[in-house]
Structure 1
């Protein structure tokens, strides 16, 4: 398989103090990193594509490390995560599925073995396409306070022969969360769900 050809990175950090209620003493931070890369399968159908997942693994680790640094540098501060991909118009949705394992395992590794499955979204679109990336708690998918999403996009990408691969991390629950359910302090950590 060809090496991953990166055109550019884009990193976004949000600091959220309130959603209409009292301002939090410590803001929730939501961060996303996007790598715009060449899609080696764009333009024609390829039966065998799975080898590219292995090629994406170093990129996933690099992106996860960069995102933690942008959020302050402490992996222990990260409580939520998600991933996504926008495939350029000369590609197909299945090319986006190749990001599931490299993106998810990279975050779990740099976060010290997080247990929950990394939620994901993907779509095909052109430059400026926006993607809502779902977020859950890193160790228990049922922690309702951490159900969130972050909208991401690249103004000039992905071009037709590119993909925009995305990782998202947060430092806590939604500001003013009050929808009940399993609390982060009650996680058992046995199965990635509770």
Structure 2
């Protein structure tokens, strides 16, 4: 068991009022929760790292709750989500994979029954590295109107011995989404895909 040592925490919400063309019926909110933590495995190879996923679960839950609160407080308003990690240079890509379970668990817990896999990405990089975190619909990964990405990063993170963890959410499809495919209104909810 490892302590989760938090250095920075950031919640950011963007609200889009217009994208050209006709004004949308409602604004679109796109939010990100970022946490910069010490990497307990930095600088050395450790075979057994899986236990750290359990240590990260409370942070994932906190980030998901805080992000929903910042986006208006209604979990039912969230339609898209994703997660990601940037590992500092003294770590390895696999350390970012430790975020898969706690990040997904946190969002699924507060969203109450989201069915789709939580899209994810990760990379190794230094301070100021940016990451495009993919977004998909929370109940059906094939809903094309919700395919998106939210760029995240913090100027001084991650340091070599840190990991930047990210959760992202949206309140709807891209404004003026019109490239066809499965619509949110057509979701069957059988398998998290359709």
Counterpart residue number, 1:91: 91
Runs of 4+ in 1 over 6 A off after TM superposition: none
Counterpart residue number, 1:103: 103
Residue 3 of structure 1, CA deviation = 1.1
State the Cα deviation string for residues 78-115 of structure 1 (Å, max 9, x = none): 00000000000110000000000110111011000100
Mapped contact 1:31–1:170 kept (Cα < 8 A): yes
Counterpart residue number, 2:112: 112
For residues 28-43 of structure 1, the aligned pairs below 5 Å read 28-43=28-43
Counterpart residue number, 2:178: 178
Counterpart residue number, 1:69: 69
Whether 1:50 aligns to 2:50 is yes
- Secondary structure in 1 matching 2:98: helix
Counterpart residue number, 1:127: 127
Counterpart residue number, 2:25: 25
Whole-angstrom CA distance in 2 between matches of 1:165 and 1:21: 35
Counterpart residue number, 2:166: 166
Residue 23 of structure 1, CA deviation = 2.3
Report the count of equivalent residues.
194
Residue 179 of structure 1, CA deviation = 0.6
Calculate the aligned-residue CA RMSD, in Å.
Answer: 0.7
Structure 1 residue runs of 5 or longer lacking an equivalent are none
Structure 2 residue runs of 5 or longer lacking an equivalent are none
Mapped contact 1:83–1:167 kept (Cα < 8 A): yes
143-152 or 7-16, larger mean C-alpha shift: 7-16
Whole-angstrom CA distance in 2 between matches of 1:15 and 1:28: 6
